[in-house]
Structure 1
Amino acid sequence: MMELYGHEKKEWFEQVYDQRHKWCTALNRDMFSAGILSSQRSEVTNKAISFNAKATTNLFEFYHIFEQTVKRWRSNETSDNFRNRTERPKAVKSKSKLLKHAADVYTLALYNDFETEYEWAMASFLRAFATENSQLKLFEVSPEEDFSNSHTVAYDEATTELVCSCQCFTETGMLCFHIIRVMHMFSIFQIPQQYILKRWTRLAKSAVWENVQADKDQSQNAQLWTPWRHAITKNFYNLVSICQSNEDARTLCDKSLKELYKSVKEVFKTDQQKQQEIEDEELRRQTVENPEVIKTKGRPPKGNKRVKGHFEKRKMKTRHPNEYGTKTPNVPQVE
């Protein structure tokens, strides 16, 4: 294009071409991106937030708008999780074993994408290449009869490994119709386990903490502790909610918490920094008494009378009990 339109010496076009690996999707298919483009994240965020926000919206109003947006997201996520656990696609009644397996594995949205790829696979054309390796087989798959738009699929019978030149699985984690066409040819009626990403399955949110607990590597990132922290916080919150209305239960909680702090101290005996953090937390948890009542400005507290001033006392002395004013008016006498 640069040669066609004569832009070889244009500095801006040269910079864009040098950075083609950042913006050209054909050059970054070897990286997992779930099929999301670079601009979609900001566009989706703007669409979700700006439905109520305006140019004059202040930070306080924006916070409430964002809070309601997050609640709506979580509500939709909970609803989708319930639907994925309880509903099944229509493919359950289909005669295709591969579609039945995909319906049992993938979520509803991902199954619809897989079904579309399956339809393309059944309508595509395939031809084999001669190879010296008896285990490795090469096929060319194309939706056109003349194979003008084709991709090469390599299939290893020993390991049931399938690799396509379009690199759709590497980029999105979903099998393309080229691989599905080869699977159908070799009567593979179940998706191989290595091509099922848990993030696309119905059990994507299950056993989160169990998987983390199984990994005993102490050098792992601190973010892996987040699921346990959320779970234990939820349990403590539920316990506080139950005990807050009963005095004996509250006393028992305070007593048990002190004993728990002592036990944790024993665990961190050699770690002085952790022990100091625990002691600081115990001091912070001590009961704070109400501050002393101080003299306030304006209206005094109930029960304390304000001292009247000189002019106010003088007014009360000169005021007539039967008149509104502070001085008897001069009334003309009538003879």
Structure 2
Amino acid sequence: MLSEGNLQNNQWLNDLYKIKEKWSTAFNKDCFNLGILSTQRSESTNHVCHGYSKPTSTITECFLDLEKIMRIWRRNEQDEEFRCSQTDIVPYMKSSPVLKQAAKFYSRKLYAFFEEEFLHGLGGLCVENTSSDLSRFSVWNIDSSIDSHKWIVKFSSIQGTIECTYAKFEMMGILCAYCMRVMRQLDSINIPIKYLLPRWSVNARKDLYSGGKIPSLCSNACQLISGDSNFIFRNYVCRFAYKISTEAQGNKEAEKCVIEDLSTLAAKVHSIKLGRKNIPISGTGHETIKDPKKCRPKGVSNARLKDHGEKKKPKKVNKLPRFLPQAYTIQIQIQVVNSLSCNQ
């Protein structure tokens, strides 16, 4: 637009181009976004709530409808988990070790995405080696009428990594068809462990929300990246702390013990993060926190807030002025007397 329209001096377009990473998907492919485009009008929220809430619904009705939607989501999630646990995925190509590995690891829906990328890489792409050490490849579609762009795939046998300029793994967490085509060109029979994200595994719900211990979870998922391992740790600690607080509530001695131990633990964690050990712990955790003063700001009325119906009511307008001239008042009184006499 700037070059074709000769708009280099347009300040608004220049400012818009400076923040292109915020609105253009071509510049934020390194973000894990699952291909979701956020909008200011919340079309996705409107689509979900369509058919449940109405413009005339009250806040209570909207809340009950939202709970109904959440129950439907949870039921669908349980049904999908049941199907994954009861039936095995049958690969389209039973002789492919890559599809066998993906069928054992991915859930049913994610495996469908992966299989589509795999088959497209085998039958719809061409590859060309552009380096002498088999570390750089150029991949493009056979049918150039669909997409004539060439994507660059970098492969490192020493580090066991494969990267593509299409950046589908960075966006969605699964390898793209271009990486699959290079892997087939190199006769690779397994998917690298680091490219199998636990969030897409068939046991994701079991691993993340079960009551297992942290060491066993981390040892069973050696392919965990830092974000997923942190997520598992937070879930486990939150469940553990909630269980302790629930058991201790109502007993003053138990509540006191929980508060003291948590205060000591917080001080130890802080010391460890600072690289210091064996520091005496000060404070027992019984410091009372006073509430702020309940002070109404100046200029803020203490009257009851009006609801939507009261705001729509038209204001009453006095037809007569508050203070009438004496002559005008006498004239009104005479008219009232005349009207009464006529009625009699």
Smaller-chain TM-score bracket: 0.5 to 0.7
Q: CA deviation at 1:207?
A: 3.2
Distance in 1 separating the partners of 2:7 and 2:288: 66
Q: CA deviation at 1:197?
A: 0.9
Distance in 2 separating the partners of 1:274 and 1:205: 38
State the match for 2:91 in structure 1: 91
Corresponding position: 1:21 with 2:33: no
- Distance change >3 Å, CA 57–CA 213, structure 1 → 2: farther
Q: CA deviation at 1:101?
A: 0.9
Which stretch shows the higher mean deviation, 34-43 or 64-73? 34-43
Alignment of 1:1-335 (within 5 A): 1-39=1-39, 42-91=42-91, 94-123=94-123, 124-131=125-132, 134=133, 137-144=135-142, 148-208=148-208, 210-211=213-214, 225-230=234-239, 260-261=254-255, 264=258, 267=261, 271-274=283-286
Render the CA deviation track for 1:219-247: whole Å, top value 9, x for unaligned. x999965544446757998x9xxxxxxxx
Identity over aligned pairs, percent: 27
- Distance change >3 Å, CA 276–CA 78, structure 1 → 2: farther
Is contact 2:249–2:255 with CA below 8 Å preserved after alignment? Answer: no
Q: CA deviation at 1:149?
A: 1.9
**SS of alignment partner, residue 3 of structure 1:** coil
Is contact 2:131–2:137 with CA below 8 Å preserved after alignment? Answer: no
Scaled by the length of structure 1, what TM-score is found?
0.64
Which stretch shows the higher mean deviation, 77-86 or 138-147? 138-147
- Distance change >3 Å, CA 109–CA 221, structure 1 → 2: closer
Distance in 1 separating the partners of 2:259 and 2:131: 70
Q: CA deviation at 1:160?
A: 2.3
State the match for 1:321 in structure 2: none
Is contact 1:138–1:155 with CA below 8 Å preserved after alignment? Answer: yes
Q: CA deviation at 1:213?
A: 9.6
Which stretch shows the higher mean deviation, 142-151 or 176-185? 142-151
Q: CA deviation at 1:144?
A: 2.6
**SS of alignment partner, residue 42 of structure 2:** helix
- Distance change >3 Å, CA 10–CA 56, structure 1 → 2: farther
Q: CA deviation at 1:109?
A: 0.9
Which stretch shows the higher mean deviation, 9-18 or 267-276? 267-276
Is contact 1:125–1:144 with CA below 8 Å preserved after alignment? Answer: yes
Aligned length: 255
Is contact 1:92–1:100 with CA below 8 Å preserved after alignment? Answer: no
- Distance change >3 Å, CA 229–CA 70, structure 1 → 2: same
Distance in 2 separating the partners of 1:142 and 1:114: 19
Q: CA deviation at 1:180?
A: 0.5
Distance in 2 separating the partners of 1:225 and 1:130: 44
Render the CA deviation track for 1:14-35: whole Å, top value 9, x for unaligned. 3322221111111011222222
**SS of alignment partner, residue 90 of structure 1:** coil
RMSD: 3.7
Render the CA deviation track for 1:247-300: whole Å, top value 9, x for unaligned. xxxxxx999x566447547746975335979xxxxxxxxxxxxxxxxxxxxxxx
**SS of alignment partner, residue 72 of structure 1:** helix
Distance in 2 separating the partners of 1:49 and 1:113: 27
Distance in 1 separating the partners of 2:206 and 2:19: 40
Scaled by the length of structure 2, what TM-score is found?
0.63
Distance in 2 separating the partners of 1:52 and 1:196: 38
Distance in 1 separating the partners of 2:231 and 2:111: 34
Is contact 2:259–2:285 with CA below 8 Å preserved after alignment? Answer: no
Unaligned ranges ≥5, structure 2: 219-228, 265-281, 290-344
- Distance change >3 Å, CA 236–CA 18, structure 1 → 2: closer
Higher Rg of the two aligned structures: 1
Matched residue type, 1:173 = G
- Distance change >3 Å, CA 118–CA 44, structure 1 → 2: same
Q: CA deviation at 1:122?
A: 0.7
Matched residue type, 1:49 = C
Is contact 2:154–2:162 with CA below 8 Å preserved after alignment? Answer: yes
- Distance change >3 Å, CA 110–CA 137, structure 1 → 2: same
Matched residue type, 2:193 = Q
- Distance change >3 Å, CA 45–CA 234, structure 1 → 2: farther
